[in-house]
A = this chain, B = another copy of it.
Amino acid sequence: MIHARQLRLVGEKQLRLVSVSELPPLPAGFRRLEVLYCAICRTDGKMWKSGHRDLILPRVPGHEIAAQDPVTGHLFTIWPGHNCGLCQACLSGRDNLCDSMKITGFHTDGGFSTYIDAADSSLIPAGHMEDARLLCFAEPVACVLNCLNRIDLQKGERVVIHGGGVVGLITALACSTREVKVTVVEKNELKRKQTTPFCMVNGIDTVKNVTDNGFDIAINCCDAIQAFRNCIQQLRKGGRLGFFSGLQKTHTLDTDTLNLLHYHEIALFGTYGPRRTHMVEAVDFCRSHGKKLELLLEKTLKPEEVPAVMEKVADGMALKYLIDFSRLRKEEEQSQEEFKL
C-alpha cells in the first residue's frame, strides 16, 4: 500500500490536504515519481481564486515540479503536458500548441502531491543538482526561453520588460545572460522593494516608469492592458514584441495604439508555455544560475501551510513559494514503519 498526501482543489478557494490510501492504476507509458518540491505559480493562485471555464474539480494543481524516481533516485522535472504527437503542431515540433494538450495540474493532477504520474515522454532528466528546489524554476524559465527564442533576441539589444514579478525577473535574468541591456518596469513600489536583492545582485534596473520609446524589444510579463499598450508605444520602429502574458479579460485596446504595430513595422510574437525542448535548456539554466534564482524564493512551505498563502499568490504579491513534499513523505514513511513495528 502506497500512502500519499495531496493538496486538492475542491471548490473556489478550497484547497484541502487529503490522504490517499489507494493510488489510481498507472497508465501505460507513464511513470510514477515522488515529488520533492512543487512551486506555486500565479496560475495556480488564479485557479484557486476564481476557477476557470475548462477546469474540472476536484483537481491537484501544480506544474513547477522537482521529482525523483523512487527506485533509481534519479532527479527529474516534468514538461507540464501530455501531447498527442500526431497533430500538425506536434509534427512541426511545436508540441506546446498540441490540439489535444492535457496540461499537468489543470487537465490532469499535478505536483501538489507526494507523488505524480507523468508521461515518460514528458520527463526531463535533471542529472545532479546541488539544490533540487531550484529545479522548480525549470518550467517558468522554459516559458521565458521560448519567448526569447521566438523574438530572436540579439546581443546588444535594448529590452524593456513590463511586470517585475517572478516571471518578469526571470526574463530579465535570461536577457542579461545574453548580453543585452534590460530595464524592468514595475508600478508597485512594494514589489520593487521586495525584488531589490535579486536586481542588485544581477545588475537589473527596475523602475516605476520609462519615458523612452526607443527599445528594440518589449516583453509583457503581466496581464495589465496598460503594460501591453506601453510595450507597443515604447518600441522603436522595426522593434519586436514578446506577447508573453495573456491579458485581463473584458478589456480593450484602442486602434490608435494597435496601428503603431502597422506604422512602425513592429513584429509581435505570441508565446505560450514551453516546448519540451525548452525544458531541457531550462534545466541547464537552473543549474548555471541557481544562486541567482535562489533570490526569487519567498519561502519553502509545509503542505498544510499552503492554503493560507494562496490569496497572496493570486494577487501576485509574493515571490516564489515552494511546497516541500519530501519531508512529509519521510514522515509518512516513518510513521508507517512505526505502525509495522
A residues adjacent to B (C-beta < 8 A) = 88-89, 92, 94, 96-97, 99, 150, 225, 228, 236-238, 243-256, 258-272
Contact = CB atoms under 8 A, between A and B. Distances in A.
Given A94-B237, A94-B238, A263 B272 contact: yes
Nearest to A97: B237
16 contacts: A97-B237, A97-B238, A97-B264, A243-B262, A246-B263, A249-B255, A249-B259, A250-B256, A252-B254, A253-B258, A260-B270, A262-B270, A262-B272, A264-B270, A268-B269, A268-B270
A230 to B, nearest CB: 15
A217 to B, nearest CB: 14
Contacts of A243: 261-262
A261 B251 CA distance: 15
A259 B247 contact: yes
A113 B50 CA distance: 65
A268 B267 contact: yes
Nearest to A263: B272
Contacts of A99: 237
Q: For the complex formed by this chain, how many copies does it contain in all?
A: 2
Given A243-B262, A262-B272, 8 more contacts: A88-B236, A97-B237, A251-B255, A253-B253, A260-B270, A261-B268, A265-B270, A267-B268
Contact of A255 (B244, B250, B255, B261): B250
Contacts of A269: 265, 267-268
A214 to B, nearest CB: 9
A250 B257 CA distance: 10
Nearest to A259: B246
B225 A265 contact: no
Which 9 residue pairs of A and B lie closest in terms of their CB atoms, listed nearest first?
A: A252-B252, A261-B270, A97-B237, A268-B268, A247-B255, A251-B255, A262-B270, A265-B270, A266-B270
A272 B264 contact: yes
Nearest to A256: B249
A270 B265 CA distance: 4
A262 B246 contact: yes
Contacts of A259: 246-247, 249
Given A89-B237, A92-B238, A237-B89, A255 B262 contact: no
A271 B264 contact: no
A244 B262 CA distance: 7
Contacts of A262: 243-247, 270-272
A266 B150 CA distance: 10
Nearest to A237: B97
Contacts of A92: 238
A94 B237 CA distance: 9
A22 to B, nearest CB: 37
